[in-house]
Amino acid sequence: MIGITKNTLGWFESLCWQTAFGPDISSDSPTFECKDCDQVILLARLQSALKSINTNISPDVIDEAVWKITLVEQLSLIGNNRRFHWMLTDGVDVEVISEDESCSMSHIEETIV
């Protein structure tokens, strides 16, 4: 592992984050968590974290939040990183349409895991 990667993972571990070495969770590993090496968000972990933080939110709203989080809105890497950081720190607003077709907003809490 390259020095900066090892140091960064160590820093995240010191903050009680779960870390994993890329090849250990790649698609050709028995414990794979991503479909290919281009996938930077581990969807199962994200969905699990959102569910554990937002226990009163329905699965459909969680799915909508995951979609919003993973959506690439801009061509700018910096712009997308800022948007992602904002959602991590401030949460995600999701529009919810109930069975009677009335609209409301749900706020999905911070997704830092």
**What is the pLDDT tens value at each position of the chain, 113 positions in all?**
577 888 888 898 998 888 877 777 777 777 777 777 777 788 888 898 889 888 888 888 899 889 988 888 888 999 989 998 888 888 888 877 776 665 555 666 655 44
Q: Same domain for 62 and 96?
A: yes
Residue 72 structural domain = 41-113
Tell me, yes or no, whether 29 and 45 share the same domain. Answer: no
Judgement on whether residues 51 and 30 belong to the same structural domain of the protein? no
Tell if the pTM clears 0.75, that is, is over it.
no
The amino acid that residue 9 corresponds to is L
Domain count, the chain: 2
- If asked whether residues 107 and 76 sit together in one domain, one would say yes
Residues 108/98, Cβ–Cβ less than 8 Å: no
The C-alpha atoms of residue 30 and residue 106 are separated, in whole angstroms, by: 37
DSSP H or E segment with residue 95: strand 92-97
Q: Are residues 95 and 73 in the same domain?
A: yes
Phi, psi of 30 (to 5 degrees): -65, -25
CB 73 within 8 A of CB 38: no
